[in-house]
Structure 1
Amino acid sequence: MQTILELDLFKETATHYELFYKLPPLTARIYALLVFNNCQDGLTFEELLETFQSSKSSISNSINTLIELNFIEQFKKGSERKRHFRINKNLFLMRLEMVSKRLKSEKEINNKLREYRKSNCNELFKQEAFDIYNFHLEEVTQSIDKTIQNLKLHIKSNEKYD
């Protein structure tokens, strides 16, 4: 696994998770490794400890953060005591649902602000700018919602084989 940590793509991926998901550096690196691993068996706490050479508490805090965010899931194999960690199977769906929710909220708040500004101040943005922006939000949201529906169908059909 050490060779994976040296890959430029791994470093770029970890940096991406730091910047766009606001994850601490170690948490982002653990998450990136689990994304690279992409395996049903996942990785154990001991494997993560050995790979990152960090303290148990640091690894544990990072894992707990990722679990709380639903980015990863923990499980045990059979009667083993070891906990294994892997990427949440519904991660793509969850991310798109989060983006859709954020875009719908953005559109709603912008519409309310537009109405407020009409009666309470001189407008910096003209009506046309709001309309263009809201039209874009609507198109993107519809596209994302369609993708969410397709992912749900895919997940449902794959559940038969798990």
Structure 2
Amino acid sequence: MKRSIEIDEKIFQDAVKFYGIIFNIPLLASKIYAYLLFDYERGGITFDEFVDVFSVSKSSVSTSISLLLNAQLIIDHSKMDERKRYFFINDEYKKIRFEKIVQKMQDELKLIDDLNNFKKVEDIEYNTKMEAYKALLNKNIINIQESLNKL
């Protein structure tokens, strides 16, 4: 089976490395994700094509696809008249990713407040730095939420 899409090897390798680090995923999962980036026509890529293109076992592809589906990085779709599943980049993931970032910043703000309320020692220099840090977190939360509303 030949590739159903055209890829640029240099860009592909750069994407494999970048997304492997960013998403903290194994090499094959990163390759599958990077490969899907080149599916500009959104025709989807089949399981068999991944096995063939990457010359790996079906179980390895299955494990990587499961990981990507569970992480919501990709989605799958079956056509009405076929048994094959087609895989696509999850366009909603960018939004999901930044919603998680906002949630982590909000959680950190709450933790900082809890720690400040608990501490018994007054440290003006520390408090000044913490207030600046909290302001930075709040500003970034607002900026990200405004951008998310545009997506």
Normalised-by-shorter TM-score class: 0.7 to 0.9
TM-score (norm 2): 0.87
Match of 2:7 among 4, 9, 30: 4
Q: How does 1:9-158 map to 2 (within 5 A)?
A: 9-116=11-118, 118-119=119-120, 126-151=126-151
Q: Say if 2:51 and 2:58, in contact at 8 Å, map to a contact too.
A: yes
> Residues 113 and 13 (structure 1 numbering): CA distance in 2 closer, same or farther, change over 3 Å?
farther
What TM-score, normalized by structure 1, do the two folds share?
A: 0.82
CA distance in 2, matches of 1:93, 1:28: 20
The amino acid that maps onto 2:128 is E
Q: How many correspondences in the alignment? A: 147
Q: Deviations over 1:81-125 (max 9, x none)?
A: 111000113122111111111111122112222333x22x686x7
CA RMSD, aligned part only?
A: 2.0
- AA matched with 2:29: T
Report if aligned partners of 2:6, 2:38 keep a CA contact under 8 Å in 1.
no
Q: Letter of the aligned partner of 2:140 in structure 1?
A: V
SS of 2:38's equivalent? helix
**Structure 1 stretches lacking a partner, 5+ long:** 152-162
Residues 114-153 of structure 1: per-residue CA shift (max 9 Å, x gap): 333x22x686x711111111100000000111111111xx
Runs of 4+ in 1 over 4 A off after TM superposition: none
Identity over aligned residues, as a percent? 29
1:7-56 per-residue CA deviation (whole Å, 9 max, x = no partner) reads 1x222221122222110111111111112324421100111111111110
Output the CA distance in 1 between the equivalents of 2:116 and 2:13.
42
Give the number of the structure whose residues are more often helix, by fraction.
1
